[in-house]
Chains A and B, each alone.
Chain A
Amino acid sequence: MLTILALAQKDLRILIRYKSGLFFTLIWPLLVAVMFGTIFSGESGQRAKIKVAIVDEDATTESGRFAARLEKSGEFEAVRANQDQGISLVRRARLTAVILIAKGFGEASGRLFYGTPPQVEVWIDPSRKAEAGMLQGLLQKHAAARMQSLLSDRANSRTMIARALKEIDAAPASGDKAVLGRFLGELDRFLAAPSDNPANAEMGSWQPLEVVEKAVARGTAGPAPRSSFEITFPQGILWGIIGCIMTFGIGIVTERTLGTMTRLQMSPSSRFQLLAGKALACFTALVVLQSGMFLIGRWIFHVRPQSWILVMMAAFSSAAAFVGIMMLVSVLGKTEQAAAGAGWAIMMPIAMLGGGMLPLFFMPSWMAAASHFSPAKWAILAMEGAIWRGFSLREMLLPCGILIVVGITCFLAGTRAFQRNLT
């Protein structure tokens, strides 16, 4: 045991002296967690506005009002332009989209419940599909707000209804015509009724849908993170784990290329002791890394695990899994460069599939299914379970058990390949 401790102590001492390794093991994951946590929480400043050009081809009072509403909303960084100028700016990636208020917008706005609706064209940068969806939603929101505003004005509403009834009367006879005529007539009578009618009084504030945004607070039923850092710290820790095992894996290759492994082989230590010493050093570094990240998260970023016992379960099982993977990385190449290249080539998809880069729900279904084979997914799930998912001890057994099985399997495979390399 003393030999194993000596080997582990030596490797940890070398890790501390190896500045770039230390950076990617301890500092980089913290930066990742803090950076993404800050972005997700919106604490880095105002949410980014969508840059658009507004083209008012209709040039009516209604289209002008709608354009002004968009400009004042605070959701857009808008410039006025003609169609060609706007499209040119989008093509040059200066703007995300052109919102073109088409001819006939004002006239169509005067129609209620019939005829062609007011039309807006959106010319979008095809590389920014995510913002296109958001833009459509915002335009629908402002259209609904415009509708609400029109209906809130009784006199204006009644004028619109009178105009509509006149146009319907002039239209050819049909079943819809009679129904729409009756509906608008009833609506006109409703609007003409005294305003002390309680139902009538509420009409001014009527909306098609009211969205109430509520922050999830501690103690809320169901799983929910209490801060965006509770989501990003497990991801940051995962990157720290990957950095750490790459450092140790490549360190073993370095021992072979520099010849120190030869001296170790020729010492009275058994191969089991040599490998156990390496594994212990890596395991210790991973546990210290995770503990340090959790403590920094707790003290500075208000990451408040629901159970420190579960946190330790997650940390130990993740460490076990990735120590095994470290042993595999160490046999991937005969030189440091080869091992590093092959190691990152394997670790990047593991991290990506596991949700270390993108949340799993962004992925296509087959990739989400493939994530079950990524130890990174189970490591993040175990950490989330301990921090905010509210896992019970029993629920923790699945991710932790999978991680330990992965660790043992990879360690045995890596050890076997390592021993074959030595002989």
Chain B
Amino acid sequence: MLKFTDVWKSYGDTKAVAGITLEIRRGEIFGLLGPNGAGKSTAVHLAVGALIPDRGTVAIGEHGDPSLPDVRARIGIAPQAISLYESLTAEENLTFFGRLYRLHGVQLREKIDAALRFVALIDRRRDQVKTYSGGMKRRLNLAAAVLHEPELILLDEPSVGVDPQSRNLIFENILHLREQGRTVVYTTHYMEEAQRLCDRVGIMDFGKLLAVGSVSELLTQQGGKTALVVTTDGTEIRMETDDPLGELNRLAAVAPVADFRLERSTLEQVFLNLTGRKLRD
């Protein structure tokens, strides 16, 4: 659905994207993970044709170059900044964005209703956006991205500054989009979100794509072994092992086990192993 082939993009001496090759499949939720400044937003801008690569190609399925207006019309985007007009109502914002995507008349009104229902803002449709909470603005930002029913939806850090209730609602919306067969690219620096939502993830740092795969694949390949933590005779013992049950049995045979737990590796650990530093350094 979205294909990067050896894509490079620099701002002056800074390489924002350095030789990315990646193919995102139709109907999947793909997480693009990395700390701030990793190059995720630049990759998103390249994907919608708002930036032209210095080298390499970006293609949207069989449609090709996303800098072409007709190709861009198949993409929806919720930028990281809340890109709405605060003095306009939700309905006026969506009407405006819908018209940019060539929607008119009854069709536009129906899609606005559907989008507002989708993000649970139908009751606030005639309120100016400046009266909304941060979470409501994020949801409307998402509604503007899906209004024209695009094949590919790019969500750039959609949960930043959002209350837990709105965050859950946004997650449900994203999962619902997958059920509808849409392709979603989700950038975030919250690994737990990626683990919860994404079919596959790509980890970026300093403009490079360090690893790509499903969450379980990355955990297995890059996350290290599962850790067994056992409390015995008032002492806590932590050991990494491929066979936690066997290790537990061996320990129980030697001394009574008061407590134990398993610590599975996380994407946070994967990032640490790949880059040598924590995600939020």
Contacts and interface: CB of A to CB of B under 8 A. Distances in A.
Interface stretch (A51-59, A195-203, A261-269, A325-333): A261-269
Interface stretch (B91-99, B190-198, B229-237, B256-264): B91-99
Nearest to A258: B81
Interface string B68-93: 01101101010111111101100010
Contact of A266 (B79, B82, B99): B79
A268 B72 contact: yes
Interface stretch (A13-21, A176-184, A360-368): A13-21
Interface of B is mostly: loop
B239 interface: no
B85 A267 contact: no
Scoring A3, A263, A266, A423 by chain B CB atoms within 10 A of each residue's CB, the highest score goes to: A266
B101 interface: yes
Given A14-B87, A268-B100, A269-B100, A259 B50 contact: no
Given A268-B73, A270-B69, A262 B99 contact: no
A6 interface: yes
B51 interface: yes
Given A3-B99, A263-B144, A264-B100, A13 B88 contact: yes
Contact of A267 (B80, B84, B100): B100
B72 A10 contact: no
A42 to B, nearest CB: 43
B85 A260 contact: yes
B38 interface: no
A171 interface: no
A2 B70 contact: no
A366 to B, nearest CB: 43
B87 A17 contact: yes
B72 A266 contact: yes
B87 A263 contact: no
A267 B145 CA distance: 10
B43 to A, nearest CB: 13
A259 B79 contact: yes
Contact of B99 (A6, A13, A265, A423): A6
Contacts of B97: 263, 267
A381 B78 CA distance: 49
B267 interface: no
A306 to B, nearest CB: 40
A263 B77 contact: yes
A135 B31 CA distance: 83
A260 to B, nearest CB: 5
A405 to B, nearest CB: 32
Interface string B8-52: 000000000000000000000000000000000000010011111
Contacts of B92: 10, 13
Contacts of A267: 72, 97, 100-101
Nearest to A265: B50
Contacts of B87: 14, 17-18
B99 A2 contact: yes
B102 interface: yes
A422 B52 CA distance: 12
B238 interface: no
B278 interface: no
B277 interface: no
B69 A266 contact: no
Contacts of B77: 263, 266
Interface string A390-411: 0000000000000000000000
B10 to A, nearest CB: 12
B178 interface: no
A329 to B, nearest CB: 20
Contacts of A266: 45, 48-50, 72, 75, 77, 79
A268 B69 contact: yes
Contacts of B144: 263
B176 interface: no
Interface in A228-278: 258-260, 262-270
A281 to B, nearest CB: 12
A270 to B, nearest CB: 6
A13 B99 CA distance: 15
Contact of A14 (B52, B73, B88): B88
B79 A262 contact: yes
Scoring A10, A260, A267 by chain B CB atoms within 10 A of each residue's CB, the highest score goes to: A267
Given A6-B100, A267-B97, A268-B69, A259 B81 contact: yes
Interface of A: 2-3, 6-7, 9-10, 13-14, 17-18, 258-260, 262-270, 423
Interface of B: 45, 48-52, 69-70, 72-73, 75, 77, 79-85, 87-88, 92, 96-97, 99-102, 104, 128, 144
Q: Which 6 residue pairs spanning A and B have beta carbons closest together?
A: A259-B81, A6-B99, A263-B83, A268-B69, A17-B87, A268-B73
10 contacts: A2-B99, A2-B104, A10-B88, A14-B85, A262-B50, A263-B77, A266-B49, A266-B75, A266-B77, A266-B79
